[in-house]
């Protein structure tokens, strides 16, 4: 390849990149979320004043040298494998259910939103803990942009992994939290861990961090966020995969 053709190829590459950025700016969901960022601090501040305490936050010196991965370490579904093969180009986080404006956000869009970074302790019900740093988009931001309807009470997180043996919907991992915890400032959709891209074993591309709750509430591989009035009709009806298998729904620490 001559120098000139190579340069032409580089220029075309840059052009494509730019076109990609412009497309980002044009996504209605993305624009809606950016607009919602204004005044959000005020909304979450009000929650704190209403008596919702913050989970303890730590410093980098406290980070655990190793952070265990638990439950699914690599989702087994065809959909997840297809997303891996295509570099998650077609992957979208959906926010729907009892909202005025359902959202669809790509990974680059999520990463460009205002973010929060927190160093917290993860406590698994099986008796181990680890301190890690998480960066992600506040769930409150997405909820504000989507416009939660009055009768909504819970937020359900649907995941890409099926952990039952049967491959039926009953084996799909899912979780739910109540609205006040969803608006909490430390409730984020994390795409980074300890300053790097989220590893597959810890929930790539997106996992929930809902501090002040036990490990199983922290849904990994989140693909869809559904705002509901009741979770009685979802899978086993108890609000989560482990809840359907006997764990308590309210898993506060």
Name residue 117's beta-bridge partners. 135
Alpha-carbon distance of 103 to 148, in angstroms, equals: 12
Q: How many residues bind ligand MTE (CB under 6 A)?
A: 18
CA nearest neighbour of 101 among 185, 208, 154, 28? 28
Estimate the crossing angle of helix 40-49 against helix 139-146, to 10 degrees. 110
Cβ-closest position to ligand MTE: 71
Shortest reach from residue 5's CB to ligand MTE, in Å: 46
* 48-77 positions binding Mo ion, by CB under 5 A: 70
* 106-145 positions binding Mo ion, by CB under 5 A: 124
Measured in whole angstroms, the distance separating CA 22 from the mean position of its chain's CA atoms is: 24
* 67-96 positions binding ligand MTE, by CB under 6 A: 68-72
Shortest reach from residue 102's CB to ligand MTE, in Å: 22
Which of 113, 219, 228, 251 is the binder for ligand MTE (CB under 6 A)?
Answer: 219
Cβ atoms 217, 175 nearer than 8 A: yes
CA nearest neighbour of 143 among 173, 103, 203, 113? 103
Stretch binding ligand MTE (CB under 6 A), from 47-55, 62-70, 80-88, 100-108: 62-70
CA nearest neighbour of 121 among 60, 165, 57, 71? 57
Q: Is 134 an interacting residue with respect to ligand MTE (CB under 6 A)? A: no
Minimum CB distance to Mo ion smaller for 216 or for 221: 216
Alpha-carbon distance of 207 to 50, in angstroms, equals: 27
Shortest reach from residue 71's CB to ligand MTE, in Å: 2
Minimum CB distance to ligand MTE smaller for 33 or for 177: 177
Shortest reach from residue 154's CB to ligand MTE, in Å: 17
Cβ atoms 154, 230 nearer than 8 A: yes
Identify the H or E element spanning 178: strand 172-178
* 156-215 positions binding Mo ion, by CB under 5 A: 215
What is the DSSP secondary structure assignment for residue 54, as one 8-state letter?
Answer: P
Binding footprint of Mo ion on the chain (CB under 5 A): 70, 124, 215-216
Binding residues (CB under 6 A) for ligand MTE: these are: 68-72, 124, 159, 161, 163, 173, 202-203, 215-216, 218-221
């Amino acid at each position: 390849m001559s120098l000139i053709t190579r340069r032409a190829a580089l220029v075309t590459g840059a052009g494509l990149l730019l076109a990609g950025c412009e497309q980002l700016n044009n996504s209605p969901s993305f624009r809606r979320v950016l607009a919602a960022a204004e005044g959000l601090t005020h909304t979450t501040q009000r929650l704190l004043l209403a008596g919702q305490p913050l989970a303890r936050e730590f410093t980098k010196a406290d980070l655990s040298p190793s952070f265990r991965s638990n439950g699914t370490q690599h989702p087994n579904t065809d959909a997840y494998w297809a997303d891996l093969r295509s570099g998650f180009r077609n992957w979208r986080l959906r926010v729907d259910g009892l909202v005025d404006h359902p959202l669809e956000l790509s990974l680059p869009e999520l990463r460009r939103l205002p973010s929060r970074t927190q160093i917290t302790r993860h406590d698994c019900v099986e008796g181990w803990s680890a301190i890690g740093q998480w960066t992600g988009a506040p769930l409150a931001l997405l909820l504000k942009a989507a416009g939660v309807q009055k009768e909504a009470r819970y937020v359900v997180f649907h995941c890409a992994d099926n952990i039952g043996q049967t491959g039926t919907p009953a084996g799909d991992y899912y979780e739910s939290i109540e609205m006040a915890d969803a608006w909490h400032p430390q409730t984020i959709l994390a795409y980074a861990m300890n300053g790097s891209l989220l590893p597959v074993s810890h929930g790539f591309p997106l996992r929930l961090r809902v501090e002040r709750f036990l490990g199983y509430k922290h849904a990994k591989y989140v693909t869809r966020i559904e705002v509901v009035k009741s979770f009685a009709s979802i899978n086993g009806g108890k609000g989560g995969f482990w809840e359907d298998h006997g764990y308590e729904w309210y898993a506060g620490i």
